[in-house]
Amino acid sequence: MAKTAKKGTWGRALLSLFGSILFIMTIRWASFEPYVIPSGSMIPNLLIHDFILVNKMAYGIRIPFTKKWLLNYDQPQRGEVVVFRSKDKDSYFLVKRVVGLPGDTLEFSKKGDMRLNGEVISFAANDEAQAWIMQFIDEYEKEEFAETYAIFGEETKEEPYLTIREKDIERSYQGPYEVPDGHMMVVGDNRDNSVDSRSYGFVPLENVLGRAMFIWMSCSETLEGAQNVCHPAHLRWNRIFKRVN
Protein backbone atom coordinates (compact mmCIF):
# COMPACT_ATOMS: atom_id res chain seq x y z
CA MET A 1 0.00 0.00 0.00
CA ALA A 2 2.83 2.35 0.90
CA LYS A 3 4.52 1.81 -2.46
CA THR A 4 1.27 2.41 -4.33
CA ALA A 5 0.62 5.62 -2.41
CA LYS A 6 4.17 6.82 -3.06
CA LYS A 7 3.85 6.14 -6.79
CA GLY A 8 0.57 8.01 -6.83
CA THR A 9 2.15 10.99 -5.10
CA TRP A 10 5.07 11.11 -7.55
CA GLY A 11 2.70 10.77 -10.49
CA ARG A 12 0.54 13.67 -9.32
CA ALA A 13 3.63 15.78 -8.63
CA LEU A 14 5.07 15.16 -12.10
CA LEU A 15 1.68 15.81 -13.71
CA SER A 16 1.40 19.07 -11.77
CA LEU A 17 4.94 20.10 -12.75
CA PHE A 18 4.50 19.41 -16.46
CA GLY A 19 1.05 20.96 -16.37
CA SER A 20 2.49 24.16 -14.89
CA ILE A 21 5.28 24.25 -17.48
CA LEU A 22 2.77 23.73 -20.29
CA PHE A 23 0.55 26.49 -18.88
CA ILE A 24 3.46 28.96 -18.70
CA MET A 25 4.61 28.06 -22.22
CA THR A 26 1.06 28.51 -23.53
CA ILE A 27 0.77 31.95 -21.90
CA ARG A 28 4.12 33.03 -23.37
CA TRP A 29 3.28 31.65 -26.81
CA ALA A 30 -0.21 33.08 -27.06
CA SER A 31 -0.49 36.21 -24.96
CA PHE A 32 2.37 38.00 -23.17
CA GLU A 33 6.14 37.68 -23.15
CA PRO A 34 8.97 39.70 -21.55
CA TYR A 35 11.90 41.14 -23.50
CA VAL A 36 14.93 43.15 -22.43
CA ILE A 37 16.26 46.14 -24.40
CA PRO A 38 19.91 45.45 -25.30
CA SER A 39 20.90 48.67 -27.08
CA GLY A 40 20.30 52.42 -27.19
CA SER A 41 18.56 52.52 -30.57
CA MET A 42 15.18 53.36 -28.98
CA ILE A 43 16.37 56.13 -26.64
CA PRO A 44 14.65 58.20 -25.26
CA ASN A 45 11.55 56.01 -24.97
CA LEU A 46 13.32 52.74 -24.21
CA LEU A 47 16.66 52.65 -22.43
CA ILE A 48 19.27 49.90 -22.24
CA HIS A 49 18.14 47.35 -19.61
CA ASP A 50 14.48 48.32 -19.80
CA PHE A 51 12.52 45.09 -19.38
CA ILE A 52 9.31 45.31 -21.38
CA LEU A 53 6.16 43.21 -21.58
CA VAL A 54 4.93 42.49 -25.11
CA ASN A 55 1.31 41.82 -26.00
CA LYS A 56 1.47 38.93 -28.47
CA MET A 57 -2.30 38.96 -28.94
CA ALA A 58 -2.41 42.57 -30.14
CA TYR A 59 -2.77 41.57 -33.78
CA GLY A 60 -3.98 37.99 -33.61
CA ILE A 61 -3.10 34.44 -32.56
CA ARG A 62 -0.55 32.31 -34.42
CA ILE A 63 -0.20 28.59 -34.94
CA PRO A 64 2.49 27.51 -32.41
CA PHE A 65 6.10 27.76 -33.66
CA THR A 66 5.09 29.19 -37.04
CA LYS A 67 4.48 32.60 -38.64
CA LYS A 68 1.00 31.54 -39.80
CA TRP A 69 -2.05 33.16 -38.24
CA LEU A 70 -4.68 31.07 -36.54
CA LEU A 71 -6.68 34.28 -36.16
CA ASN A 72 -5.52 37.63 -37.55
CA TYR A 73 -7.76 40.57 -36.60
CA ASP A 74 -5.42 43.58 -36.80
CA GLN A 75 -2.03 44.82 -37.98
CA PRO A 76 0.56 47.21 -36.53
CA GLN A 77 -0.33 50.89 -36.76
CA ARG A 78 1.95 53.84 -37.41
CA GLY A 79 3.70 55.00 -34.26
CA GLU A 80 3.46 51.70 -32.40
CA VAL A 81 6.55 50.09 -30.88
CA VAL A 82 6.71 46.45 -31.92
CA VAL A 83 8.85 43.37 -31.42
CA PHE A 84 9.56 41.38 -34.58
CA ARG A 85 11.74 38.60 -35.93
CA SER A 86 14.85 39.56 -37.85
CA LYS A 87 14.57 39.11 -41.60
CA ASP A 88 17.80 37.10 -41.59
CA LYS A 89 17.50 35.05 -38.40
CA ASP A 90 14.18 33.85 -36.98
CA SER A 91 15.58 33.41 -33.47
CA TYR A 92 16.78 37.04 -33.29
CA PHE A 93 14.24 39.63 -32.12
CA LEU A 94 14.28 43.40 -32.62
CA VAL A 95 12.35 46.32 -31.12
CA LYS A 96 11.59 49.36 -33.29
CA ARG A 97 8.85 51.87 -34.07
CA VAL A 98 6.51 51.44 -37.03
CA VAL A 99 6.56 54.57 -39.19
CA GLY A 100 5.32 53.26 -42.53
CA LEU A 101 2.59 50.87 -43.69
CA PRO A 102 1.82 49.43 -47.15
CA GLY A 103 1.39 52.26 -49.65
CA ASP A 104 3.22 54.87 -47.55
CA THR A 105 6.17 56.91 -48.83
CA LEU A 106 8.79 58.11 -46.35
CA GLU A 107 11.76 60.46 -46.64
CA PHE A 108 14.40 61.68 -44.18
CA SER A 109 15.94 65.10 -44.78
CA LYS A 110 19.54 66.14 -44.22
CA LYS A 111 18.37 67.84 -41.00
CA GLY A 112 16.85 64.56 -39.81
CA ASP A 113 13.19 65.49 -40.29
CA MET A 114 10.87 62.68 -41.37
CA ARG A 115 8.37 63.23 -44.16
CA LEU A 116 5.37 60.89 -44.42
CA ASN A 117 3.42 60.89 -47.69
CA GLY A 118 4.75 64.36 -48.51
CA GLU A 119 4.09 65.92 -45.09
CA VAL A 120 6.80 66.81 -42.57
CA ILE A 121 5.74 65.33 -39.24
CA SER A 122 8.78 66.23 -37.10
CA PHE A 123 8.73 69.18 -34.69
CA ALA A 124 11.06 70.57 -32.02
CA ALA A 125 10.21 69.35 -28.50
CA ASN A 126 9.17 71.91 -25.88
CA ASP A 127 10.88 72.48 -22.52
CA GLU A 128 8.49 70.14 -20.71
CA ALA A 129 9.33 67.25 -23.03
CA GLN A 130 13.04 67.89 -22.69
CA ALA A 131 12.78 67.94 -18.89
CA TRP A 132 10.85 64.65 -19.01
CA ILE A 133 13.69 62.97 -20.90
CA MET A 134 16.44 64.39 -18.72
CA GLN A 135 14.98 62.82 -15.57
CA PHE A 136 15.99 59.42 -16.94
CA ILE A 137 19.56 60.39 -17.82
CA ASP A 138 22.20 59.63 -15.19
CA GLU A 139 23.46 62.78 -13.47
CA TYR A 140 27.02 62.41 -14.76
CA GLU A 141 25.72 62.09 -18.34
CA LYS A 142 23.19 64.94 -18.41
CA GLU A 143 25.62 67.59 -19.66
CA GLU A 144 27.06 65.31 -22.34
CA PHE A 145 23.56 64.26 -23.44
CA ALA A 146 22.41 67.88 -23.74
CA GLU A 147 25.48 68.81 -25.76
CA THR A 148 25.18 65.80 -28.08
CA TYR A 149 21.46 65.40 -28.79
CA ALA A 150 18.51 67.49 -29.89
CA ILE A 151 15.02 66.32 -28.94
CA PHE A 152 12.16 66.22 -31.43
CA GLY A 153 8.61 64.98 -31.56
CA GLU A 154 6.77 63.14 -34.33
CA GLU A 155 3.10 62.66 -35.10
CA THR A 156 2.41 59.45 -36.94
CA LYS A 157 -0.47 58.68 -34.54
CA GLU A 158 -2.86 60.56 -32.27
CA GLU A 159 -0.39 60.76 -29.38
CA PRO A 160 3.01 62.24 -30.39
CA TYR A 161 6.22 60.50 -29.33
CA LEU A 162 9.75 61.81 -28.82
CA THR A 163 12.91 61.09 -30.80
CA ILE A 164 16.50 62.27 -30.54
CA ARG A 165 19.05 63.14 -33.18
CA GLU A 166 22.68 64.15 -32.94
CA LYS A 167 23.61 67.82 -33.19
CA ASP A 168 26.07 69.18 -35.72
CA ILE A 169 26.56 66.09 -37.86
CA GLU A 170 26.36 65.75 -41.62
CA ARG A 171 23.58 63.54 -42.92
CA SER A 172 22.59 62.54 -46.40
CA TYR A 173 19.04 62.61 -47.71
CA GLN A 174 17.42 59.18 -47.28
CA GLY A 175 14.55 58.01 -49.45
CA PRO A 176 12.09 57.95 -50.88
CA TYR A 177 11.06 54.64 -49.31
CA GLU A 178 7.84 53.22 -50.76
CA VAL A 179 6.43 50.53 -48.48
CA PRO A 180 5.20 47.49 -50.45
CA ASP A 181 2.18 45.31 -49.67
CA GLY A 182 2.59 42.97 -46.72
CA HIS A 183 5.45 44.98 -45.21
CA MET A 184 6.16 47.83 -42.80
CA MET A 185 8.95 50.34 -42.29
CA VAL A 186 10.50 50.47 -38.84
CA VAL A 187 13.05 52.90 -37.38
CA GLY A 188 14.68 53.54 -34.02
CA ASP A 189 13.84 56.65 -32.00
CA ASN A 190 17.58 57.35 -31.63
CA ARG A 191 17.64 58.21 -35.32
CA ASP A 192 21.36 58.62 -35.91
CA ASN A 193 22.29 55.51 -33.91
CA SER A 194 19.87 52.87 -35.11
CA VAL A 195 20.17 50.06 -37.62
CA ASP A 196 16.67 49.71 -39.03
CA SER A 197 14.64 49.66 -42.26
CA ARG A 198 16.87 52.36 -43.70
CA SER A 199 19.62 49.71 -43.66
CA TYR A 200 18.02 46.27 -43.91
CA GLY A 201 14.86 47.18 -45.77
CA PHE A 202 11.16 46.69 -45.12
CA VAL A 203 10.01 44.09 -42.60
CA PRO A 204 7.31 41.55 -43.52
CA LEU A 205 4.20 42.02 -41.39
CA GLU A 206 4.22 38.28 -40.70
CA ASN A 207 7.44 38.76 -38.72
CA VAL A 208 5.70 40.82 -36.02
CA LEU A 209 5.41 39.11 -32.64
CA GLY A 210 3.51 41.78 -30.75
CA ARG A 211 3.21 45.32 -29.44
CA ALA A 212 5.32 46.67 -26.57
CA MET A 213 3.01 47.51 -23.65
CA PHE A 214 4.91 48.73 -20.61
CA ILE A 215 8.22 48.57 -18.74
CA TRP A 216 7.95 46.13 -15.84
CA MET A 217 11.57 46.47 -14.68
CA SER A 218 14.45 48.82 -15.43
CA CYS A 219 18.00 49.30 -14.20
CA SER A 220 21.19 51.05 -15.20
CA GLU A 221 23.26 47.93 -14.45
CA THR A 222 22.64 44.18 -14.39
CA LEU A 223 24.30 41.54 -12.26
CA GLU A 224 27.74 40.43 -13.37
CA GLY A 225 27.39 37.21 -15.36
CA ALA A 226 23.59 37.57 -15.54
CA GLN A 227 22.68 40.13 -18.20
CA ASN A 228 18.95 39.52 -17.81
CA VAL A 229 18.85 40.20 -14.06
CA CYS A 230 18.79 43.75 -12.70
CA HIS A 231 21.24 44.80 -10.02
CA PRO A 232 19.07 45.72 -6.99
CA ALA A 233 21.23 48.75 -6.23
CA HIS A 234 20.78 50.20 -9.71
CA LEU A 235 17.02 50.02 -10.26
CA ARG A 236 15.39 52.91 -12.15
CA TRP A 237 12.25 53.11 -10.01
CA ASN A 238 10.74 55.99 -12.00
CA ARG A 239 10.53 53.81 -15.10
CA ILE A 240 8.87 50.74 -13.59
CA PHE A 241 5.31 50.22 -14.94
CA LYS A 242 5.77 53.09 -17.37
CA ARG A 243 3.68 52.66 -20.51
CA VAL A 244 5.58 52.41 -23.78
CA ASN A 245 4.55 55.30 -26.03
- Encode pLDDT of 205-228 as tens digits: 999 989 999 999 999 889 888 878
Smallest CA-to-CA distance from 103 within 169, 184, 36, 174 is with: 184
For residue 132, give the amino acid letter.
Answer: W
Contact assessment for residue 179 and residue 103, using Cβ atoms and an 8 Å cutoff: yes
- CB count, 10 Å around CB of 164? 24
Residues 8 and 96 in one domain: no
- CB count, 10 Å around CB of 230? 19
Domain hosting residue 150, numbered range: 34-243
Residues (pLDDT < 50) of the chain are: 1-2, 4, 6-7, 13, 16-17, 19-27, 29
**Which pLDDT value is given to residue 14?**
52
Distance of CA 154 to the CA centre of its chain: 17
Contact assessment for residue 58 and residue 210, using Cβ atoms and an 8 Å cutoff: yes
Residues 104 and 219 in one domain: yes
- Surface-to-core class of residue 36, CB atoms within 10 Å of its CB (0-12 exposed, 13-18 middle, 19+ buried): middle
> Count of H helices and E strands in the chain?
4, 19
pTM above 0.85, yes or no: no
**Which pLDDT value is given to residue 225?**
81
Residues 49 and 105 in one domain: yes
Q: Which residues are catalytic?
A: 41, 96
Residues 24 and 138 in one domain: no
* CA 184, 160, 145, 54 torsion-angle sign: negative
Residues 22 and 108 in one domain: no
Residues 26 and 105 in one domain: no
